[in-house]
Every structure is written in structure tokens, then in C-alpha cells.
Structure 1
Amino acid sequence: MPKILIIAPAWIGDAIMAQPLYRRLHERYPGLVLDVLAPAWTRAVHARMPEVNETLDNPFTHGELNLRARRKLAHQLKARRYDQAIVLPNSLKSALIPWFARIPLRTGWVGEMRYGLLNDARKLDTEALPKMVERFAALAEDRNQLLQRPVPYPRLVIDAAARAAALQKAGLNADQSVIALCPGAEYGPAKRWPAHHAAALARELLAEGKQVWLFGSGKDNEIAGEIAALAPGSVNLSGKTSLAEAIDLLSLASAVVTNDSGLMHVAAALDRPSVAVYGSSSPRFTPPLSDKARIVTLALACSPCFKRTCPLGHMQCLNDLGPERVRIALADLVPELFAR
């Protein structure tokens, strides 16, 4: 029975984009046991992927070397006798544990000069594989083999009982249509649609009898609180749910309005109709992976800049993107919700 260990990304969105890789590995290796080494905060995502046998906690923070602890963890993993490790992050440190564990085949893109640590190090052709999901999925194939296309969309599986429990805990119901707003973006403010625009949209939706639920982590409390204050009647769930509960509740949304964030990828993987607002980033690299998604962007000459904060100080890419554009995209996406 083949056994593969995935060294998974730390970001929620990236973790979701790795799922097509897992699916392809199962196609190639019937009976595969696939484990994932990942930060604990991504456990809720991996728990909703049927391809994953077990999620093992990766305790190391960004930039932390701690060779002694890495050797200790590698020793524990060595006893599991994996046949292959696939390293998805491009850092040198991420390749150390499989090497310490003496996993026979260690696959990944070249990254930070990882020759030796990876004995199946591949050179990435960014033009042939422009999307992150493609770069991950391509590692399921043997060296020099073409990526199997089309790459399937990620899909998270929801447990109905867990969702009902999350709904009850939050004191909510889905009797009326729910529009989810995901106003955060951990990367930085240049990816966050301004609160006053989101609030203006929320007020319209509430006036039409729709529910508006705001999702995010505790780091999004400030912007979510501002939206809730400007749009009374909105339900602010930011920082009040676990990621597992947020995923389950988000699956109830009739539509989602989101920045380019981890929750954008969650919504897409839940097959929820989504309008994704892009500012400093580009949908060419990490688009929402769903046929039910619409991208709203001004495509200014200065964007995408991929900066955390606007280098020009005006952030026109998002400040000038008014709520009417998002409203039009929503109506196009789910016309039945906006029929007059």
C-alpha cells in the first residue's frame, strides 16, 4: 500500500488549492494512504478533504529553523515508512524534515536551492503552469510528464450535523437568503475592499430582506466591526467562530462577496456563487476555482502590484471600485435572488 506525505502550505487558500494534487495521486495509486503535515490552523480544511488520511501538525512558525525539533519530528515520521514526500512550499526549511526522515523519494520545485534535500527537484516553467493550483497538481506526475488537464476544482465536504450544530451555536437560521461578506485579507490592506463600500452593499441587501453575515478571523474584527456599525442588521461573525464553524456556515450562503483571501478559496471549494474583488493581486495566479465565480477588478495600469499596502498611497484599485459594480456582478451570478 503506497504511502505519501505532503508538506503542505501554511496559507488556507494555498492548502485548498493543493486538493487537486491529492485527488490525482489517488487516481494514480489505488489504495494510497496520503497524510498531510500542515500548521494546526489548517486542520479544519484538511478534515473536509476525503483524500486526506491524517493531518499531522507542523509546529514550526514562518522563518523558524529549530533543527533539533525538526530532527525529532523527522524521527517520528521515519517510523511511518513513507514512500514519497511532496514538498509544496518553496523554502529550504520545508524540505528539511523529509530529508531528515530519509523518505526515499522527495519531490518538489527547485525553490531555494534545495538540490540534495530533494532528490526529485524539478524546474518550474511558470508560463506553462501560470496558476498555483496547476503547479501543485503537476507534482502528482512523474518527472517530465505533462500535467493532466483539466485540473479539477477543489471541493470541501460538509457534514450536515456539524453544520447544524454551528448554526445553532451562532443562533442563526437560513430561512432567508444569506449573502456572506468576507472583508478581510491577512496579506494586507491593499487586498481589502473598503468598509464603506461593503457596508453600502450590505445596506441594500438588508433592505431587500436578505441576511448579511460577515466572516473572518479575529484579525478582521476592525473592518468587520466597521461594516456592521455602518450596516445595522448585519451579523458579525468575525472572530466569533472557529475556522471549522466558518466553513460550515459559509456553505449555507446563497452568494459570497469576498476579497482575494483564504475564505475566497473556501467559498469556491464549497461551490458557492462568489464575487471576488481584486486590488493589488492578480486572478491570473490564484483565481477562485469555480464556474460560479465572478471577478471584479478595475485593472488599473498600476495593478497588480502585489504589495501589502499601496506604494502610491491612493489605493485607487479598490477605493474607486464602488458597490454598484459588485451588485451588478451578484445579479449576473444569481439573478433569481435579484429579480424585481
Structure 2
Amino acid sequence: MSNKTITPDNQSDPILIVFPKFIGDAINTLPAIELLRQLYPKTPFHFLVRPHLVALFEAQNLPLVDVIEDKRYAKPKWGIFKKSRALKKANYQLAVLFRGSLAEAVLCRLAGIKSVIGYAQNGRKPLLSYALKLNENHHYIHRYCRIVNEAHGSPFDSFNAPSLSTRESPFVSPQTPTIGCYFGGKNKDTRYYPTALSAQVVALLLDNTPCDVVLLGDQQEVADNQAIIEQLTNHQTRVLNLAGKTSLPELVNVTGQLTALISIDSGPMHMACATGTPCVALVGLGTSPWSIVAPKVAKFEAIVANGFSLDDHRIIESIEPAEVLRTFQSLMSRLSDE
């Protein structure tokens, strides 16, 4: 490990970029990708991503980018040696690790990559050619941008918010204001906003806002969303359950066309913020401290649970539906005045 500053001169071979596994984290790497592109405007980038993220990045049609499925997580799975042999054929000279595991550093070294940059964590410091010390107080976006910036001698003073491009969605009518809601399901553990409270939020929106509502989610959340609809005895015809009906790129398109989104701390929240859709987030106990994952955009308000429950799953229940409506109305009023 040398920590010698990397210079972008004469870099013609592709650069390997190893992505984190979660949707929101992957979206938060986009500002760092933008910095990297400024340093290497003509160099091909190869994105090594989990299988579920392939379509998301392919749909963005980023110039000079090839998206590579990480078959270590596909079916059938590849072992690390088979994957490293496949990577070695591309003759990578530089790898940027946006995921902090030891396995990623080992993979790059086995692939014969000369310069590997990332954070000195999980015992992998000896395997990195440029190892940064992790400041756990830094926002995730800040962390990813630091990897690029400091390894190249800190040429940048700031970064932009994440941005995703979208297309029109057949699920959202441009003639009707449509509010998206993503409350998660029981699979979201402590981030899940319970069905009864979720139904109250939707009912308040429909009673106080001229709109339709779409409930977002994946296949695991179809039943959770249907349970919300079943409690809406007076509003069912104005609510569409999209859980399990959209691919990841289609979900990005939907969130980008919404009038607004109300969401738990989640991938859809980050999608909305990256597509410019106003968003209200309901924040309970998350998988990371809220201060290091909160979206860095203006069209956004967060309601952070502030209750007294000792049950982790009930922390988010301190967020009352009426407060969600007030926050939503306040955000939309603020944006209309700007």
C-alpha cells in the first residue's frame, strides 16, 4: 500500500468500478461517477454490479459505460477465482471500490489490477494502492466522492446531488396528479410503516388532495399493499397497487413522473430525489444512521420518529398520519411559492 496520488494521464484501459449492493447506496455513488468522468472523459468505465442492479444502470444509457453482472451473486454463482479470471482479461489498471468489503479488494488483486482505491476497512488496507481512512460521520455521497477526489490529489471542491434520467410511464397519467406511496412490507423490518397507519395516510391524502395514489413495492410487498387498499372502503377506485408490476428501470420512470412521493427510508426515496420528484420520508430505525443517508436535495422533507418505544419495530409508529399530511402539504406549498 503506497497511497501515491493517482494521475489520469494516458489512461486508455477501462476502469473497473465496484458498486455497493443496495439500490439507494448505488444511486448515491452517481455524484462520484460524475467526478470520475471529469477526470477520465474518454476512458471506458465498467460497472461491476449485483444482478438486480444491471437493468437500472443499463437503462441510464451512460456514455462509455459497460454494465457487468457480478456473477458471484447470480444463479448459478461464480466463485471469486472464476470471476477474477474473467476480469483479468479486460486488463484493468485501475479499480474504484465503492463497496467496503474485503472480498472486493481480494477480487481486484486476483484480477491483477495495479491500482485499487477504496477505504481502509475490514482488514483490506494492505490490498489497496490508495487507502483512505473512513470517517463514519460523513454522508454516504461524501464518502464515495472522497474516494475519487482524494486519490487523485483533491482536484474538486464540491459535488452535485445524484441524478437519474427517466422516460414516460404508462402507470402515471400526465392529466391526473398522482402521489406515490411506499410504506414497505414486513420484509423491511424496522423501517416498515404499519398497514393501519399507512391506510390512514392514503385516506387523508385522498380526502384533502385532488389526486390518485399508486402504492409502490416489489413482489414481496403485494399483499402488504393490498391490505392497505382493503382498509380504504371509500377510496379503493383511486388507488393502484403497483407492487411487483414494475422492473427497477420502470420503477425509476414511475417515481420520476409522480407529483410527489411519500416513502420510508428506502430505494424509492432515493429514486424520487434523484429524478426531481418532491418527497416526504418517514424515518424510523434504519439500516444506517439517518444523518449519513438523508437525500441532499431541496424538494424533500423528512419526518424522523421521535417516540419513546423500546421496541425497535414500533419506533416509526410515533409518526402520526396527520403529521404526514401536514408535512406533505407544507412541502408542496413551499415548492409552489418558489
TM range (shorter): 0.7 to 0.9
Aligned length: 317
Aligned partner of 2:199 in structure 1 is 199
1:114 aligns with 2:119: no
Per-residue deviation, 1:145 = 4.4
Aligned partner of 2:7 in structure 1 is none
TM-score, normalised by the number of residues in structure 1: 0.85
Aligned partner of 1:325 in structure 2 is 323
Per-residue deviation, 1:319 = 1.4
Aligned partner of 1:75 in structure 2 is 85
Per-residue CA deviations over 1:2-60 (Å, capped at 9, x if unaligned) read 52111111100010001111000111222121111011111233232626601100122
Q: Is the 8 A contact 2:51 2:73 kept in 1?
A: no
Aligned partner of 1:228 in structure 2 is 229
The equivalences for 1:128-167 within 5 A come to 130-143=138-151, 145-146=153-154, 148-158=156-166, 160=167, 163-164=168-169, 167=170
Q: Is the 8 A contact 1:138 1:147 kept in 2?
A: no
- Greater shift, 227-236 or 131-140, is seen at 227-236
1:260 aligns with 2:268: no
Aligned partner of 1:249 in structure 2 is 254
Per-residue deviation, 1:124 = 1.4
Once residues 96 and 82 of structure 2 are traced to their aligned partners in structure 1, the CA distance between those partners, rounded to angstroms, is 20
Secondary structure of 2:134's partner?
A: coil
Once residues 278 and 51 of structure 1 are traced to their aligned partners in structure 2, the CA distance between those partners, rounded to angstroms, is 35
- Report the RMSD for the aligned CA atoms in angstroms: 2.6
Per-residue CA deviations over 1:156-215 (Å, capped at 9, x if unaligned) read 012x3xx34xx1xx5x52321010001116873211122222211212323343110011
Change in 2 beyond 3 A, CA 1:223/1:27 = same
1:296 aligns with 2:303: yes
Once residues 52 and 19 of structure 1 are traced to their aligned partners in structure 2, the CA distance between those partners, rounded to angstroms, is 15
Once residues 312 and 264 of structure 2 are traced to their aligned partners in structure 1, the CA distance between those partners, rounded to angstroms, is 18
Q: Is the 8 A contact 2:299 2:335 kept in 1?
A: no
Q: Is the 8 A contact 1:331 1:338 kept in 2?
A: no
Identity of aligned residues (%): 23
Aligned partner of 1:56 in structure 2 is 68
TM-score, normalised by the number of residues in structure 2: 0.85
Change in 2 beyond 3 A, CA 1:212/1:52 = farther
Once residues 185 and 25 of structure 1 are traced to their aligned partners in structure 2, the CA distance between those partners, rounded to angstroms, is 36
Change in 2 beyond 3 A, CA 1:212/1:338 = farther
Q: Which residue, 280, 283, 292 being the options, matches 2:285?
A: 280
Which residue identity is paired with 1:287? A
Aligned partner of 2:215 in structure 1 is 214
Once residues 336 and 325 of structure 2 are traced to their aligned partners in structure 1, the CA distance between those partners, rounded to angstroms, is 9
Which residue identity is paired with 1:211? D
Unaligned runs of 5+ residues in structure 1 are 303-311
Q: Is the 8 A contact 1:49 1:155 kept in 2?
A: no
Larger fraction in helix: 2
Per-residue CA deviations over 1:264-319 (Å, capped at 9, x if unaligned) read 111111111000110013320101232111010133467xxxxxxxxx33744321
Secondary structure of 1:277's partner?
A: strand
Aligned partner of 2:5 in structure 1 is none
Aligned partner of 2:48 in structure 1 is 37
1:5 aligns with 2:16: yes
Secondary structure of 2:113's partner?
A: coil
- Greater shift, 327-336 or 32-41, is seen at 327-336
Q: Is the 8 A contact 2:72 2:83 kept in 1?
A: no
Once residues 326 and 97 of structure 2 are traced to their aligned partners in structure 1, the CA distance between those partners, rounded to angstroms, is 41
Aligned partner of 1:307 in structure 2 is none
Per-residue deviation, 1:107 = 0.8
Unaligned runs of 5+ residues in structure 2 are 1-11
Change in 2 beyond 3 A, CA 1:112/1:314 = closer
Secondary structure of 2:72's partner?
A: coil
- Greater shift, 71-80 or 30-39, is seen at 71-80
Once residues 6 and 285 of structure 1 are traced to their aligned partners in structure 2, the CA distance between those partners, rounded to angstroms, is 22
Secondary structure of 1:74's partner?
A: helix
Per-residue deviation, 1:77 = 1.6
